[in-house]
Amino acid sequence: MVRPNPAGELDAVALETALLETWKNERTFQQSIDSNRTGAPFIFLEGPPTANGKPGIHHVVARAYKDLVCRWKTMEGFLVERKGGWDTHGLPVEIEVQKRLDLMSNEAIEEFGMQAFNDACRESVWTYESAWREMTERMAYWVDLDNPYVTLHNDYVESCWWALKQMFDKDLLYRGHKVLPYCPQTGTSYSSHEVALGYKEVEEPSVYVKFKLVDDSASILAWTTTPWTLPGNVGLAVGPDVTYARCRVREEPEGWQGRGGASVGEELILAKDLMGEVLRHHVDIIEEIPGSSLVGKSYEPLFQNAVPRGDSTTAWTVLSADWVTTTDGTGVVHTAVMYGEDDYNLGMEVGLPAYHTVSMEGNFVDGVHPELDGRYVKSCDDSVMDILVGQNDSIASGLLYREKSYLHDYPHCWRTDHPLLYYAMDSWFVRMTAVKERLLEFNDGVEWAPDWVGEGRFGEWLRNVKDWAISRERYWGTPLPVWRDEDGNMKCIGSIAELQAEIAKANAAGFENPECPDDVDLHRPVVDAFTLVSNDGKPMHREPFVMDCWFDSGCAPFAQWHHPFDENKTFDASFPVDYICEGVDQTRGWFYTLLAVSTTVFDSPAYKRCLSLGLILDAEGKKMSKSRGNIVDPWDHFNREGADATRWYMVTAGAPWNPLKFDSNGVRETYAKMFLTLWNVYRFHADYAALDAFDPASSTSSYESRSRLDRWILSKLHSTAKAYHEGFTNWSFHKACRELEDFIVNDLSNWYVRRSRRRLWDEAESGDKLACQHTLHEILVTLCRLIAPVSPFMVDTIHRNLTGETVHTAVWPIGTPGSTQGATADAWNEDLVSATQQLPLQDTELEHEMALVRELAETGRRIRIDAQRRQRLPCAEGWIVAGPSLEAYHDLLCEELNVESISVETDLDRFQQVELGVNFRALAPRAKGDVNAIASQIKNHPDQDALLADIRNGSCTIMGVDILESDVEVRRAEREGYAAATITVGEGDDALHVSLVLDMQDTPHLLSKGLARDITRRIQSKRKDMDLEIEAMIDVEVWMTDAPELFEEDRVWISKETRASGIAFAEDQPPADVESFNVDGAQVSYRVKKV
């Protein structure tokens, strides 16, 4: 037997913190999983956060949506296990540690000791773990944080190694070059994230250089902002569709400054559009040439022998590249293979020689030029220009056309402030281009929310897929498990056992190796120390890279289970996963790497559904980020409005995929409106239920014995719950929750509870009271279950008090498809028809009637304002004109409208008149351009009744168009001069025009009643001020002057309403110390005393 306790005042924060304790003690989360052991699995995969930053409100949003779906599916009977995860490798960790330990270069790190450095990283990763854990628990994101997967754990790393070996064996892993921003001082290349830290505006010399064609007197002009790359030049790229001009110098220019120049008669080729900007000489255009005709021409290398030709047939020729534009320079792009991404790609494509002219230290290598060899490239700009001018060379005219300073943003090292060099580095790649078709195919099978992220942004990314550069020249990460000998022979190691076997082999071949125990630390520098042996008997050393940390998280679906080393079948049963959910910024991050790894390793998609969340912006619409310092601390709200309100706000503030402007005021509003209202509805029920010792189990109330009001709210609940569930199934959580909130505030609180208040006041048992209590009980229990996935706290308190059980092991009111035989999580949109049987009966006609009644009640208030008649002064009679029969609601309407009686008036014309409107959809096709003129003639016709009669007779023609009955909409409105109003309910053919008319006459009887109500209201308000118990009795004294007569029955009514044991009325002057008020000219004073 469960009897509700009184609810008491709401203290959301206390309620929530108390519940957290209860959940912990009762292991409610575990229970909610265990109770579904036989259910179909619904596989969720947690995207691992990095715990070396403080969690902000934007993390709460993502976790709210993850939690919502998992809780919902759990209530539907699915087995939803949620393993937590931590992303622990990668650059951000290293940067953090480097800053703290002041290790500003790789040299410094190595001096400090790689082991010590990595130990510091390993520790740093957990800096904010407790903050994350506290946030996660406080917001009630249910996830298993006690057994999380951790990307730095040996088991996890071993699974990653295994995956890499799969790729290696399929020839999807290869070694190549990648041009990266590189700092020769620190010896490190940088990720875009780090590069972004160091952009600076600098002014540098740029140069226009003449490339002398072979077998042609002309030179091609090219421009570069990095003169130090010129010795590495091996090609010139032109746009095939760009028009170039061959110009001949006519005369010297005036006011030439700087080095370089050209002689009269010399011929230069450049983009026609850029001549004006580039050339300082007066020239004649000799010929216009399309870029495509220049392709293939050979030119003389600027620096003889700086780069060996090798077997290249395309070196020092003009090449075609469609990315060449005429926005800068000369429309000809100087190409140095190793020092630009485009250059490198073009070079690989057409077979240019790929040799460095610059060392890793940033100096020119020997053999480039006697004046440059061994010097730091950035300090050689002048020397390069001098060499090109040809002071010491035999080429009389020189190769420099012009120098020009150039202002641009250029990346600098965020640690040393030195300019970065784009530099082709040794790098490892996954051959994603080889599986592009499969990627696209798998992506097609994913249910994306919203769909345009999958088709658009993500699809776009996949269609342009490039090979994935997965190696990083760093220390803290999953080491690349490839060993290589001097001839380029390679072995990829896929497990610790394999490593041990290879080490044994190497040792047998005479190499010395440290111990490699079963629990060897799979990190640098430990793994670097192992030397393996090639099949040729040569030593093999590990490629000195760690993996992109995105590779780690991309392995999560299997690495979290230590697949394939873990014998149990967890992985097989949980792949691909049913649901992932992260911010849209993960599109090319985790969303991609999951798919990239699953495609290359398993030839399978990784996830079936992906909810991509919009960014979280601050109140100004700026992205929330650590660097901006505009992160909202979730605890500000957890400690004020509570996690329930915070979560509900996040879900209702907009579609999950839209950017969310986080508005702190919105959380307050949600609290005040949604949760306070819900609590007060609950409180109303619980307080009376406790008073009456109501026990839902030991009494019943049949459907037939419920009032119309009960049946109406039950039916409304049915409709709302169904729509709510449908909203969930098509990802419209925001719409679902807004609708539910509207139900609670509007239908339940403002109408049902308000209308039902008196039913519970009755101290005696009655069937009607019981009906109301059962109804409230049923409504609240169902509501709790519907709300629980979104905001799990308050509803659990309510549910526990009403039913004795937690809401979190309760069933979903719309059905439990997960617990049916043979169910799968794929049946996301199952048929609802049978499932909704679990909801109370639906009666749409009743819903329509009640909607009309409520509108009439509101209409009454409007009429009174127009007629300046206060609400508490009753009217003798009200008439309802037209509309469906509302007999059953007359009592209700009398109370709401404050009228003595309601009658139905069938003579529509007494209060209503016809007004004609135009049905544009019907009339427009025939009337065409005259439709508006016809419409206005119809509307403004002086006798609408007659016009309607004509139309019905078929004898109405306006502007040559026959007006049919279907062309017009007949509306009815109240006639002028009555205290009346007409409302329209429904649409189209079902539209109803109902008028309400109120009798405005006063009688002594009505005036007395009105006065009584005013007095009562004041006394009630006083009772409340005095903080009296509901049952407390009072003594009342009232003094009245200039008041209408107050009849005996109304005096009795006052004392009854206000629980006055004694009430005295006087006509004389009141004492000075009593409260008084004015109503319609009457002076009323009163005094209330507790008995």
Partner RNA sequence: GCGCGGGUGGCUUAGUCGGUUAGAGCACCCGGCUGAUAACCGGGAGGUCGCAGGUUCAAGUCCUGCCUCGCGCACCA
Catalytic residue positions, numbered: 48, 87, 550, 586, 590, 623, 626
Distance in angstroms (rounded) separating the CA atoms of residues 196 and 198:
5
Helix/strand/coil for 123: helix
Distance in angstroms (rounded) separating the CA atoms of residues 74 and 41:
9
Q: Give me the least distance between CB of 862 and RNA, in Å please.
A: 4
Residue 954 is encoded by which pair of tokens? 């078929």
Closest by CA to 356, choosing from 434, 428, 275, 425, is 425
| C-alpha 833: how far from chain center | 31
Contact between 790 and 733 under an 8 Å Cβ cutoff? The reply is yes
Left (φ > 0), alpha (ψ -120 to 50) or beta: where does 1059 sit?
Answer: left
Q: Which is nearer to RNA, 574 or 677 (CB)?
A: 677
The secondary structure of residue 752, as a DSSP letter, is I
Helix/strand/coil for 1086: strand
Q: Which is nearer to RNA, 456 or 514 (CB)?
A: 456
Residue 450 is encoded by which pair of tokens? 């919203």
What's the sign of the alpha-carbon dihedral 1068, 1073, 1074, 1079? positive
Q: What is the 3-state secondary structure (H, E, C) of 283-347?
A: EEEEEEEEHHHHCCCEECCCCCCCCCCCCCCCCCEEEECCCCCCCCCCCEEEEEHHHCHHHHHHH
From the number of C-beta atoms within 10 Å of its C-beta (0-12, 13-18, 19+), residue 488 rates as exposed
Closest by CA to 118, choosing from 140, 93, 141, 153, is 93
Q: Give me the least distance between CB of 90 and RNA, in Å please.
A: 16
Question: In whole angstroms, how far apart are CA 644 and each of 41, 75, 361, 782, 785?
Answer: 27, 18, 57, 17, 14
Phi then psi for residue 619, to 5 deg, are: -60, -25
Strand partners, 246: 269, 287
Scanning the structure block, which residue is given the tokens 């709302």? 720
Q: Which is nearer to RNA, 501 or 615 (CB)?
A: 615
Phi then psi for residue 544, to 5 deg, are: -80, 50
Q: Which is nearer to RNA, 665 or 821 (CB)?
A: 665
Q: Give me the least distance between CB of 337 and RNA, in Å please.
A: 12
From the number of C-beta atoms within 10 Å of its C-beta (0-12, 13-18, 19+), residue 273 rates as middle
User: Using omega within 30 degrees of 0 as the cis cutoff, is the peptide bond preceding 792 cis?
Assistant: no
Q: Which is nearer to RNA, 492 or 916 (CB)?
A: 916
Q: Give me the least distance between CB of 481 and RNA, in Å please.
A: 27
Q: Which is nearer to RNA, 474 or 1059 (CB)?
A: 1059
Q: Give me the least distance between CB of 678 and RNA, in Å please.
A: 9
Q: Which is nearer to RNA, 511 or 1053 (CB)?
A: 1053
Closest by CA to 546, choosing from 477, 483, 499, is 477
Distance in angstroms (rounded) separating the CA atoms of residues 88 and 99:
17
Q: Give me the least distance between CB of 222 and RNA, in Å please.
A: 7
Q: Which is nearer to RNA, 309 or 668 (CB)?
A: 668
Q: Which is nearer to RNA, 428 or 679 (CB)?
A: 679
Distance in angstroms (rounded) separating the CA atoms of residues 317 and 352:
10
Scanning the structure block, which residue is given the tokens 């790098």? 427
Q: Give me the least distance between CB of 960 and RNA, in Å please.
A: 15
Q: Which is nearer to RNA, 228 or 530 (CB)?
A: 228
First to last CA, the chain: 37
Q: Give me the least distance between CB of 280 and RNA, in Å please.
A: 19
Q: Which is nearer to RNA, 69 or 645 (CB)?
A: 645
Residue 5 is encoded by which pair of tokens? 């306790």
| C-alpha 736: how far from chain center | 17
399 CB contacts (<8 Å, ≥6 apart)?
209, 210, 211, 212, 219, 302, 388, 389, 390
Q: Give me the least distance between CB of 997 and RNA, in Å please.
A: 16
Please count the other Cβ atoms lying within 10 Å of the Cβ belonging to residue 537.
11
Helix/strand/coil for 404: strand
Distance in angstroms (rounded) separating the CA atoms of residues 461 and 599:
15
Q: Which is nearer to RNA, 139 or 453 (CB)?
A: 453
* Amino acid letter for position 715: S
Q: Give me the least distance between CB of 162 and RNA, in Å please.
A: 28
Phi then psi for residue 612, to 5 deg, are: -105, 115
User: Using omega within 30 degrees of 0 as the cis cutoff, is the peptide bond preceding 525 cis?
Assistant: yes
Q: Give me the least distance between CB of 614 and RNA, in Å please.
A: 8
Distance in angstroms (rounded) separating the CA atoms of residues 1018 and 1086:
9
Residue 41 is encoded by which pair of tokens? 């699995």
339-351 burial, b at 16+ Cβ within 10 Å, e below that, comes to bbeebbebbeebe
Q: Which is nearer to RNA, 131 or 924 (CB)?
A: 924
Phi then psi for residue 107, to 5 deg, are: -60, -45
